[in-house]
């Protein structure tokens, strides 16, 4: 989860988030090189006395400053397109979960199992335990197994919401009358926090998301308990 002194991304839990972090680092490296080069040329212009009042055209330098930005844009565009296609790829999901946004809580349905539906509200401050986080803990956690391809369907009952978990690299808008989908593939167990990322009203900041990644055995046991 994010802490007060964190200036970078959260640790990646899914292959998608790993690709997003790599793309960010790749783009920042190119931007850093461009910034340093431009600053160097500006300082050079201010500190030397070399001038050429008779210069009318320079086809070679014009060719260079046209080709170089084009090459840099291609270097940014190619990994960006690759990541975009990976975000939309859903390959035979084994589990489907539906998240429905309300003002101001989430409700969940496990479409592959009958009668598994529940609401998830933020825990009040006077009800949280010592090992729980204020404004992030919920009364009913959602569980998914790691190393299993899952699909998440997101919609809304009232206004636009956004189902987001940064460490997984997933952010799906929930719009009334529309169902959006995304894929989840977690690589390790853990508890991952998220929040609604679309301003949806006065209690927008009080509808957290808590996803617990467990092994398949624990998930099957939880499913059996929910179906009782």
Average pLDDT over residues 118-123: 94
Q: Which residue has the higher pLDDT, 90 or 170?
A: 170
List Cβ neighbours of 138 (8 Å cut-off, separation of 6 or more): 120, 121, 122, 123, 208, 209, 210
Element (H, E) at 29: helix 15-47
User: What proportions of the chain, in percent to the nearest 5, are helix, strand and coil?
Assistant: 35, 25, 35
Between CA 148 and CA 145 the distance in angstroms is 6
What is the pairing mode between strands 117-120 and 142-145? unpaired
pLDDT tens digits, 179-190: 999 999 999 999
Report pTM. Answer: 0.84
Model confidence at 196, pLDDT cuts 50, 70, 90, reads very high
- Report the pLDDT value the prediction gives residue 51, as an integer from 0 to 100: 77
User: DSSP characters for 45-92?
Assistant: HHH-----TT----HHHHHHHHHHHHHHHHHHHHHHHHHHHHHH----
Average pLDDT over residues 125-131: 86
Burial of 97 (0-12, 13-18, 19+ CB in 10 A): buried
List the beta bridge partners of residue 144: 213
Average of per-residue pLDDT values in the chain? 90
Model confidence at 6, pLDDT cuts 50, 70, 90, reads confident
Query: In the numeric block, which tokens belong to residue 89?
Result: 């790829």
- Nearest one of 172, 168, 122 to 152, comparing CA atoms: 172
What is the pairing mode between strands 208-214 and 142-145? parallel
- Considering only 2-11, 59-68, 177-186, which range has the smallest mean pLDDT? 2-11
Q: Does the pLDDT value for residue 214 go beyond 80?
A: yes
pLDDT tens digits, 11-20: 899 999 999 9
CA atoms within 13 A on the CB side of 98: 14
Between CA 41 and CA 47 the distance in angstroms is 10
Instruction: Show the domains of the chain with their CATH numbers.
Output: 15-46+59-88 (no CATH), 95-227 (2.60.40.420)
List the beta bridge partners of residue 138: 122
């Amino acid at each position: 989860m994010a802490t007060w002194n964190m200036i970078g991304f959260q640790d990646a839990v899914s292959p998608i988030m790993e690709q997003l972090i790599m793309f960010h680092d790749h783009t920042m490296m190119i931007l850093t090189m461009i910034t340093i080069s431009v600053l160097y040329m500006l300082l050079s212009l201010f500190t030397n006395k070399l001038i050429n009042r008779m210069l009318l055209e320079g086809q070679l330098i014009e060719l260079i400053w046209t080709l170089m930005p084009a090459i840099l844009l291609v270097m940014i565009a190619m990994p960006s397109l690759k990541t975009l296609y990976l975000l939309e790829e859903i390959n035979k999901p084994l589990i489907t979960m539906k998240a429905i946004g309300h003002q101001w809580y989430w409700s969940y349905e496990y479409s592959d199992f009958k009668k598994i539906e529940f609401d998830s509200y933020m825990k009040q401050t006077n009800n949280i335990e010592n090992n729980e986080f204020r404004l992030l803990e919920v009364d009913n956690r959602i569980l998914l197994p790691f190393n299993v391809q899952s699909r998440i369907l997101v919609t809304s009952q009232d206004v636009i919401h956004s189902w987001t978990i940064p460490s997984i690299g997933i952010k799906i808008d929930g719009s009334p009358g529309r169902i959006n989908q995304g894929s989840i593939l977690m690589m390790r167990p853990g508890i991952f926090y998220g929040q609604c990322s679309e301003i949806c009203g006065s209690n927008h900041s009080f509808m957290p998301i808590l996803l617990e990644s467990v092994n398949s055995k624990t998930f099957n046991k939880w499913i059996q308990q929910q179906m009782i």
